[in-house]
């Protein structure tokens, strides 16, 4: 059975993607773990972006083809994991990377994914560290990163963390 029939959707080829940040590809594993994978061709890195709202095309579910799981952020800290069924915590707002100062678009090459609950922005973004681990949503907010930079008096932290949230989309044709 094909993915389209399994999901009962018409999944366009351009929606099948690999998302790369910091030389790691976002991977959803059958064990419900989500992490960055350095191997672009690992079968767990092949994802499908599925529209979550027919009126707002920026709202998407991210589905791991091999694992059969949806990406989600759960709990008070926004733990990132794969789940079998879609939920409101599985909806992400896909948008071009923006300046944190005035929300102007910084790059049309990079995308960010913000967790949406009840279609309300949480301020939690998917973020992959330079080691390939996934940050909890509560550690990927603008406020958390700015507070951390103030405490250490190091603006490089802001730049580093912002880079961890910017995904380069690698479209897949099968």
Q: pLDDT tens across 70-107, in order?
A: 999 988 888 999 999 998 889 999 888 766 556 665 66
**Which of 55, 30, 62, 61 lies closest to 44 in space, CA to CA?**
30
CATH fold of the domain at 3-171:
Trefoil (Acidic Fibroblast Growth Factor, subunit A) (2.80.10)
Distance CA 11, CA 60 (A): 12
% of the chain residues with pLDDT over 70:
74
111 or 11, which is more confident? 111
Q: Is the pLDDT reported for residue 2 higher than 50?
A: no
Cβ(160)–Cβ(146) below 8 Å: no
């Amino acid at each position: 059975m094909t993915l389209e029939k399994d999901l009962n959707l018409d999944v366009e080829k351009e929606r099948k993607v690999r998302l790369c940040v910091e030389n790691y590809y976002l991977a959803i594993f059958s064990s419900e773990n989500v992490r960055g994978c350095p191997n672009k061709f690992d079968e767990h890195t092949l994802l499908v972006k599925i529209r979550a709202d027919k009126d707002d095309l920026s709202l998407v579910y991210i589905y791991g083809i091999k694992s059969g799981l949806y990406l989600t952020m759960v709990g008070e800290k926004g733990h990132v994991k794969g789940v079998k069924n879609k939920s409101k915590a599985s909806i992400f707002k896909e948008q071009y990377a923006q300046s944190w100062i005035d929300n102007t678009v910084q790059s049309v090459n990079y995308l960010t994914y913000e967790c949406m609950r009840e279609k309300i922005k949480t301020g939690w973004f998917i973020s992959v560290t330079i080691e390939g681990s996934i940050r909890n949503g509560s550690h990927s907010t603008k406020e958390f990163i700015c507070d951390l930079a103030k405490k250490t008096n190091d603006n490089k932290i802001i730049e580093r963390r912002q880079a961890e949230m910017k995904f380069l989309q690698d479209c897949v044709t099968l």
